[in-house]
Amino acid sequence: MATLLDSKHIIWNKLYEVYTRLNTQFPNKIDVKVIKSYPKTFEDIDKNSAVITVSRVAAPEEYRFVGDLTTTELDNNAQQMWKQKGNLQTEHLEIAIWSLNAEYRDDIYVLTRQILFEEKEDFFRNYNFIKFIRLSGADQEIDVGQLPRVVYRGVHIYMATHLLQFQKAEDLVGAINCNIEVVTELKL
C-alpha cells in the first residue's frame, strides 16, 4: 500500500531512520525515540533520554508560492516539473525535543539541526522539496504543577515547500491508513 508523503511524514521518517541508526551505533550516547505525536505521559519520556516529535504548526499560507511569483524561486527544470507533475504545498513544522535533562535536550537540539542540514540535499533530490528553511528555535521548560519534575523541550520551526505529485484527491484515498466501519442500519 502506498503511503501519503507530505513534508511532515518525510521529515519524521528521515529523523526516525537516522536516530535509529545512531541509537545502534552509539548506545552509550544516543537514546532517542522519534514519534508522530506529543508524549502523553512522563513514562513516554522516561523510557528514553529524549523523545522527538514532528508536528504541523498553524501558520498563514505563503502567498508568494502561488501563481507566477513561484517561478522566481525555481530554475527552468523545476518550473517544468512543477507545471507537469503536481502542486506546491508549504507547511510550517515544529520539531520538538522532549527530555527530563536540560543538557541532553540541548545536545540533541544541536544534533537534530545538524542531521536536517546534512539531509537537506536528499529532501530536494529524492522527495521533491523546493524549499526547506529553518525559521526559528527555542528552549522551553514545562513545569508540571503536582510533580517535582520539569520537562525540558527544545523546538525547531522549519518551513518546507514540497511538490505533491498526485493530481486528484481520489489518487490519495488508497494511501490512507485507516479502515472505517460502515454502519448500514441503525440498531436501537
CA angle 100, 103, 108 (to 5 degrees): 85
pLDDT digits (tens, 9 = 90+) for 49-106: 999 999 998 766 554 444 444 444 555 555 555 555 566 778 899 999 999 999 999 9
From first CA to last CA, the distance across the chain in angstroms is 37
Cα 97 to Cα 89, 137, 139, distances in angstroms: 25, 11, 9
Domain positions in the chain are: 7-167
CATH architecture assignment, domain 7-167: 2-Layer Sandwich (3.30)
Give residue-wise pLDDT tens across range 123-160: 988 888 888 999 999 988 887 665 567 889 999 999 98
The per-residue pLDDT for range 18-46, each reduced to its tens digit, is 999 999 999 999 999 999 888 887 777 88
Contacts of 140 (CB under 8 A, 6+ apart): 152, 153, 154, 155
Mean pLDDT (the chain, rounded): 79
